[in-house]
Amino acid sequence: MKVRNILATKKGHLITIDAEQPVRKAIAMLVDNRIGALLVMDSTGKLAGILSERDIMRTAATDEALFDRPVTDIMTREVVVGMPQDDVIAVAHTMLEKRFRHLPIMDEGQLIGIISIGDVLKIQRDAYRGEVDTLETRIIAKGEE
Amino acid sequence: MSPIGTATQPLRVAIVGAGPAGFYAAERLFKETELVIEVDMFDRLPTPYGLVRNGVAPDHQKIKSVTAVFDRVAGNPRFRFLGNIELGRDVTVDDLKEYYHEILFSTGAQTDRPLGIPGDDLAGSYPATEFVAWYNGHPDYRECEFDLSQERVAVVGVGNVAVDVARILCRTREELMKTDIADYALEALSNSQVKEVYILGRRGPAQAAFTAPEVKELGELADCDTFVLPEEAELDSLSLAAMANADRADVRKVEIIQELSHRQPSGKSKRLILRFLVSPTELIGDEHGHVRQMKLVHNELYATEAGSLRPRATDRTETLDVGMVFRSIGYRGVPLPGVPFHESWGVIPNNGGRVIDITTKEPLLGEYTAGWIKRGPTGVIGTNKPDAAETVENMLEDARAGRTLEPSHPTAEAVTSMLDERQCRPVSFDDWKRLDEFELNRGKAEGRPRVKFTRIEDMLAALRS
Ligand SMILES: Cc1cc2nc3c(=O)[nH]c(=O)nc-3n(C[C@H](O)[C@H](O)[C@H](O)COP(=O)(O)OP(=O)(O)OC[C@H]3O[C@@H](n4cnc5c(N)ncnc54)[C@H](O)[C@@H]3O)c2cc1C
Ligand SMILES: NC(=O)c1ccc[n+]([C@@H]2O[C@H](COP(=O)([O-])OP(=O)(O)OC[C@H]3O[C@@H](n4cnc5c(N)ncnc54)[C@H](OP(=O)(O)O)[C@@H]3O)[C@@H](O)[C@H]2O)c1
């Protein structure tokens, strides 16, 4: 199972914010779109970082003036990026080990989507459910193979 | 307009494609208690079950018993099977919109992915998809010819389909006699000269896509010795590190591969060799344009940023003498006329099964998708169940909110007359059950689980008799 199998059933609509926009706007976008992270773009339209709920929480704990600061101040700059041909199982381990929940996906230099740990969990759960179902069928079946 | 989903105006759903995804979707729709739902399931073939009939290997009969689940769905009085009706040939999406509130596309993946190397198109180089459909008696592929006079064969790819292809090539006549393999294929394979089959993986044993029971079975063939080269069975350091996180099934798979690398020849008449970390770079033909050799490059693995291990070519190369090549590197969906299509992934663009416009990403009213054409050609039969359930949840949500098509003729009778006018004679589920009975009886006479009809004319003639 590859990352592209996750992307295939998602809208693929990239929700991005400009690095200079205030955190206030970012929070509104997260809430409106019911998502956990935004892709942050620099003035040339390149991926500059990622802003997650966690980044906001971490800053909010010490900085009450957070709302007016530009996103660029608090975003995560070192973004791990995936590819559509990455194996889901490997991506799952990387996300768990490196403790991040969102992975932007690039294909031939183009940003094409973002997957969350929830997406990874869901496709794995469905694969296991399917395997169990199919195994049961095979075990219950009469006759020889 | 009266409310939809009631006894007077049931929610009418068209399902296009009678494979596992279509049946699991229908099953889930019928579990809905608040809405009255009618399902018409179309398939381009007179026979239902999709790849369960035309893909699953004939020597894996047990798994085919999942059709009992599908038969129960088909027994619902609000279900109709309209076999031998193809979307694009007999009806269009616009037609369906006149008769149904919701349309679900579950047409699977009908074609193969090319290797994209020089010589891919030489005689003797075939897609596994065609070989599989041929030995399973798919009417569109019964006339295919495979040059089984060749002794050495390469199968590219290490998924379960590659394993199926290699196993069928290595089975004896006696083993195949016990299956429902198409009778012409049984004859052709009984006379096959194939002696040596290579299965070629571009990555290592730990990344092989096949599953443990399938590779174990390769080591248990009646008249074929199966090997792995010891140096290729060893895991590199990156794979070893990754194995620390691997689940039980993957650990077992690697153990089985390593066990095969210690085997000695036992004098059986065929040999099956599983190779790893090699990629074909070119097929070389003879003066008749027939494949004679395959150039391979040895690979090493590197980790991507996100942690998967990918192959990278080294400067070590090798030439393999082979007279036949099967590419088994994955299936690919084909576009349906009038339905959006994602060219590079070969799927219908969708959001949780709601078909979306490829540019605006907005959902198209009343159009849905499930199965391989929704997520790509991956997963066992059962995987299509949660997949179809997700889509059906969205279909029901839309129906309850009144977001459906507004067909001008939302009745079963209207569909029947439309097909009648076009002189399309759909094969019903009862018809199919009669065909099934015929096939089982023909099988009984030969001591086989079934003998399939492999021509549509023969199926229709049997039904008229
Ligand atoms: C060679 C092979 C072997 C497999 N073996 C196993 C196995 O042993 N165990 C296991 O669990 N899984 C196996 N699988 C996987 C399993 O078959 C798939 O997960 C499953 O069949 C996918 O279901 P689907 O409904 O999406 O597509 P399909 O099963 O392909 O069904 C699609 C249906 O749509 C119909 N259709 C297509 N186009 C049109 C059109 N234009 N109009 C009308 N109808 C149309 C087709 O005729 C077909 O009946 C195997 C797959 C392959 C390829
Ligand atoms: N018995 C069963 O349960 C059974 C039987 C048949 C099929 N199925 C299921 O049906 C699905 C489809 O099976 P499948 O075998 O068609 O697909 P698959 O499992 O995706 O395997 C495809 C194989 O092709 C390789 N590949 C892809 N591109 C390649 C390239 N350019 N060069 C060399 N190798 C390449 C892949 O390697 P990489 O991983 O490196 O990309 C992989 O080994 C699977 O989920 C399978 O489990 C199940």
| B454: in domain | no
pLDDT for A63: 87
What is the CB < 6 Å shell around ligand 2?
A: B 156-162, 164, 201-203, 207, 209, 214, 279, 328-331, 377-380
Q: Are residues B201 and B303 in the same domain?
A: yes
pLDDT for B296: 98
| B178: in domain | yes
pLDDT for A57: 93
What domains, with CATH codes, occur in chain A? 3-143 (3.10.580.10)
Which tens digit of pLDDT belongs to each residue from A122-133?
999 999 999 999
| B361: in domain | yes
Which tens digit of pLDDT belongs to each residue from A51-66?
999 999 999 999 888 8
Indicate if the pLDDT at residue A144 is higher than 80: no
Closest atom of ligand 1 to CA, residue B372: 26
How many structural domains are present in chain B?
2
Q: State if residue B43 touches ligand 1 by the CB under 6 angstroms criterion.
A: yes
Q: Give yes or no for B379 touching A (CB within 8 A).
A: yes
pLDDT for B245: 83
List the single residue in A8, A81, A138 with the smallest CB-CB distance to B345: A8
Q: Give yes or no for B342 touching A (CB within 8 A).
A: yes
Domain edge (last residue) among B315, B330, B345: B330
Give nearest CA residue, ligand 1 atom 30: B108
| B439: in domain | no
Which amino acid, B156? V
| B368: in domain | yes
Q: Give yes or no for A33 touching B (CB within 8 A).
A: no
Q: Are residues B277 and B352 in the same domain?
A: no
pLDDT for B246: 87
pLDDT for A48: 94
B30 half-sphere exposure, CB direction, 13 A CA radius: 19
Q: Are residues B202 and B294 in the same domain?
A: yes
Q: Are residues B181 and B277 in the same domain?
A: yes
Domain edge (last residue) among B283, B315, B330: B330
| B6: in domain | no
Q: Are residues B244 and B287 in the same domain?
A: yes
Contact B310 A85 (CB under 8 A): yes
How far away, in angstroms, is B207 Cα from ligand 2 center? 11
Nearest ligand atom owner, CA of B299:
2
The chain B residue lying nearest A95, using CA atoms, is B306
- pLDDT-based confidence at A145, cuts 50/70/90? low
Chunked in runs of 10, what are the mean pLDDT values of chain B (465 residues)? 86 98 98 96 98 97 93 97 97 98 97 94 96 98 96 98 98 96 96 97 97 96 96 96 90 96 94 98 96 98 96 98 97 97 96 96 97 97 97 97 96 97 96 97 94 97 94
Q: Give yes or no for B337 touching A (CB within 8 A).
A: no
**Chain-wide mean pLDDT for chain A?**
92
pLDDT for A142: 65
CATH number at residue B167: 3.50.50.60
CATH number at residue B342: 3.40.50.720
Q: Are residues B169 and B223 in the same domain?
A: yes
Q: Are residues B243 and B378 in the same domain?
A: no
| B460: in domain | no
Q: Are residues B246 and B356 in the same domain?
A: no
Q: Yes or no: say if B258 and B314 are a contact pair by the CB < 8 Å rule.
A: no
Q: Are residues B322 and B207 in the same domain?
A: yes
List the single residue in A84, A90, A134 with the smallest CB-CB distance to B307: A90
Domain edge (last residue) among B300, B330, B360: B330
pLDDT for B318: 97
Which structural domain range is residue B247 located in?
113-330
**Chain B residues within an 8 Å CB radius of A114:** none
Closest atom of ligand 1 to CA, residue B47: 49
Q: Give yes or no for A126 touching B (CB within 8 A).
A: yes
Can you tell me the mean pLDDT for A85-110?
A: 94
How far away, in angstroms, is B50 Cα from ligand 1 center? 4
Q: Yes or no: say if B261 and B251 are a contact pair by the CB < 8 Å rule.
A: no
Which tens digit of pLDDT belongs to each residue from A4-32?
999 999 988 789 999 999 999 999 999 99
Which are the contacts of B170, defined by CB distance < 8 A and separation ≥ 6? B194, B197, B221, B223, B224, B270, B272
pLDDT for B307: 95
Q: Are residues B99 and B144 in the same domain?
A: no
List the single residue in B375, B386, B449 with the smallest CB-CB distance to A5: B375
Tell me the shortest Cα–Cα distance from B419 to chain A, in angstroms: 33
Query: Which three-class secondary structure string do you get for chain B?
Result: CCCCCCCCCCEEEEEECCCHHHHHHHHHHHHCCCCCEEEEEEECCCCCCCHHHHCCCCCCCHHHHHHHHHHHHHCCCCEEEEECCCECCCECHHHHHCCCCEEEECCCCCEECCCCCCCCCCECEEEHHHHHHHHCCCHHHCCCCCCCCCCEEEEECCCHHHHHHHHHHHCCHHHHHCCCCCHHHHHHHHCCCCCEEEEECCCCHHHCCCCHHHHHHHCCCCCEEEEECHHHHCCCHHHHHHHCCCCHHHHHHHHHHHHHCCCCCCCCCEEEEEECCEEEEEEEECCCCEEEEEEEEEEEEEECCCCCEEEEEEEEEEEEECCEEEECCCEECCCCCCCCCECCCCECCEECCEEECCCCCCEEEEEEECCHHHHCCCCCHHHHHHHHHHHHHHHHHHHHCCCCCCCCCCCHHHHHHHHHHCCCCCECHHHHHHHHHHHHHHHHHHCCCCCCCCCHHHHHHHHHC
| B170: in domain | yes
Q: Are residues B132 and B176 in the same domain?
A: yes
Q: Is the pTM of this model over 0.90?
A: yes
Mutate to test the pocket of ligand 2, among B160, B301, B310 (most ligand atoms within 8 A of CB): B160
Q: Are residues B117 and B266 in the same domain?
A: yes
Total residue length of chain B:
465
